[in-house]
Amino acid sequence: GQQLNQSPQSMFIQEGEDVSMNCTSSSIFNTWLWYKQDPGEGPVLLIALYKAGELTSNGRLTAQFGITRKDSFLNISASIPSDVGIYFCAGQLSTGNQFYFGTGTSLTVIP
Amino acid sequence: EAQVTQNPRYLITVTGKKLTVTCSQNMNHEYMSWYRQDPGLGLRQIYYSMNVEVTDKGDVPEGYKVSRKEKRNFPLILESPSPNQTSLYFCASRRRHQETQYFGPGTRLLVL
């Protein structure tokens, strides 16, 4: 299967700081997605990206679809305690119905 | 309320004892999937279904079976569970041509 490398694996930050994480792949993806998983729950979609270079925001979250179509980035500005969780990137190839997930970035926000 | 439900939420079993994890969605979604989540590996797709009676293997199908006899249900069957199937399992559904997947709350399975 496809391998998505997500970094960093974990982050410990102070409340109010900005956060950046990224996801890279050896394959070209048609769609990039970013999910957040709260403890004890399933992932929830945060942002979807559909074309190379696209920059999309959702509140304090901003994500970008890389120009090469092999990477994507997620930024969180002015972090707050409820941002705690695991963030996953996911990609969809131009063909097929599968979504491939990254290994996740665990975010801890220290009040 | 639109949702994906899974049962049971927690299960402890022994090697070789057949089990079924149920999944049901009330959104009339065509697509349904099963994933397993393991530390350091993220979510990996086990099986997916594009509609009733249409299923296909994901990345890690070995040791699992699925069926899609009704649109709303997509059970995951472990005929002979082994300890390496100890994991957190998620069911998800989405509309055809849409990327937004709705995930269930997860089923934590321990195989002794």
A103 touches chain B (CB under 8 A): yes
**CB spacing of A103 vs B41 below 8 angstroms:** yes
Counting Cα atoms < 13 Å in the Cβ hemisphere of A31 gives 19
The yes-or-no verdict on residue A95 having pLDDT over 90 is: no
> Are A97 and B56 inside 8 Å of each other by CB?
yes
Residue A96 pLDDT greater than 70, yes or no: no
Output phi, psi for A76, to 5 deg. Answer: -120, 125
Dist CA B23 CA B77 (whole Å): 11
Contact B45, B34 (CB under 8 A): yes
- Can you tell me the distance from the alpha carbon of B83 to that of B85, in angstroms, rounded to the nearest whole number? 5
* Cβ atoms of residues B45 and B60 within 8 Å: yes
Q: What is the pLDDT of residue B40?
A: 86
pLDDT in tens, A24-75: 998 899 999 999 999 889 999 999 999 999 999 999 999 999 999 999 999 9
Per-residue pLDDT of chain B (112 residues; tens, 9 = 90+): 889 999 999 999 999 999 999 999 999 999 999 999 998 889 999 999 999 999 999 999 999 999 999 999 999 999 999 999 999 999 999 998 888 899 999 999 999 9
Q: What are A11's strand-pairing partners? A: A107
What is the tens place of the pLDDT at every residue in B9-29?
Answer: 999 999 999 999 999 999 999
